[in-house]
Amino acid sequence: MPVEILKEKFTGKVQEVVLGATKEEGGTRAYTVKLGGSSTLPFLQFEGEIPNRPVIALEIWDIKPDWHECFVPCYGDVWEDPVAWAKKAEEYGADIIYLRLRGADPELENSKTADDCAKLVKAVLENTGAPLIVEGPGFPDKDNEVLQAVAEAAAGENIALGVAEKDNYRSIAAACMMAKHCIIARSPLDINILKQLNLMVTEMGVPIEKIINDPLTGGLGYGIEYAYSVMERARWGALIGDKMMSLPLICLAGPEAWRAKEANAPNEEAGPGWGDQKVRGVMWEAMTAAALLQAGGDLVLMRHPEAAKLVKKQLEDLMVPNTY
């Protein structure tokens, strides 16, 4: 007697969000990326539709980053030049380029101006073909000023701007609306606030298909299980038809993984059995990303090209239909 596979029936699905715009769509991107769209839990193709593979964004900064020396072989020759760095990220197979404007931090000496940032974004767009995400320096006033200028400079390209939070979303939402970009809305591991924020952003007039959610993540060993629970619940909300909870999720796997001692500790300070840092750091990041994808991430932000490569391979394997 054949075994009957029990299938969960859901009424909702994850909202599909498109990033980037090609020439025909008024931009200059070589391709667009679709996020979300799933009508089932992650990678359960036998149960529903998973129209879009989760994607990988590679992180670049507008200034030289304070990263571990193991990044020197892959990015050391380009990280003084963000445009060259962006091109390199594309060569490493990034689906999306994620530019963090850390140089606009108002507490830095020679803090970059909004105009500097807008010019840089334009230059990155002119020299690359991947869709772009731009994150402000993380100081509300400066974020507003910088992202406004960036939004105008990138008009037509359908980039994503971040990050909007509960107490600072109006200006960013306005900038996104005006230039028809997407917005990244973040809440610190709090699903209730995330839903409220989505409501507030849509009430300002941002279309729901222009919102990406960042539930905030912890690195492997540093609270990833909280992120996992929040993401799992958000996906479940989307699947039972809770529209304000149905947005695709971005996970900051790279930045979080590389905050962990286990990723960075040199071999002489490593615990027993930790192994070589070069392998260990990459694995720490890849494992963090893999867990977050299983929790329902639609876009993982990654840092090390080797880790990104491992995750991309895994994603391709996971996207093979597992029909019964």
Partner 1 sequence: MGFIMIGERINGMFKDIGEAVAKFDPKPIQDWAIKQTEKGAHYLDVNVGPTAEDRVKSMRWMCEVIQEVCDTPLCLDSTNYDAIEAGLEVCKKPALINSCPAERPKIERVFPMAKKYGAGIVALTMDKSGIPKSADMRVAFAMELVAAADEFGLSPEDLFIDPLILPCNVAQDHAPEVLETLRQIKNLSDPPPRTTLGLSNVSQNTLDRPLINRIYCVMAIVAGLDSAIMDVDDDALVDAIATADMLLNRAIYCDSYAKVFRQR
Instruction: Enumerate binding residues for partner 1 (CB under 8 A).
Output: 9, 11, 191-196, 199, 233-234, 237, 240-245
Q: Where are the alpha helices (DSSP H) in the chain?
A: 72-75, 82-91, 114-127, 140-153, 170-179, 191-203, 224-239, 253-257, 261-264, 277-294, 305-318
For 270-275, the CB contacts below 8 A with 24+ separation are: none
Output 195 or 303, the one with its CB closest to partner 1.
195
Output 30 or 199, the one with its CB closest to partner 1.
199
Output 49 or 242, the one with its CB closest to partner 1.
242
Evaluate whether 216 touches 187 at the Cβ level (below 8 Å): yes
Output 160 or 238, the one with its CB closest to partner 1.
238
For residue 34, the cross-strand partners are: 18
Q: How far is the CB of 202 from partner 1 (least distance, A)?
A: 9
250/101 Cα distance (integer angstroms): 18
Evaluate whether 311 touches 302 at the Cβ level (below 8 Å): yes
Residue 54 burial by Cβ neighbours in a 10 Å radius (0-12, 13-18, 19+):
buried
Q: How far is the CB of 162 from partner 1 (least distance, A)?
A: 20
Q: How far is the CB of 236 from partner 1 (least distance, A)?
A: 9
- Block residue for tokens 């394997």: 317
236/195 Cα distance (integer angstroms): 13
Output 10 or 79, the one with its CB closest to partner 1.
10
Q: How far is the CB of 241 from partner 1 (least distance, A)?
A: 6
Q: How far is the CB of 237 from partner 1 (least distance, A)?
A: 5
282/264 Cα distance (integer angstroms): 10
Output 227 or 300, the one with its CB closest to partner 1.
227
Q: How far is the CB of 157 from partner 1 (least distance, A)?
A: 30
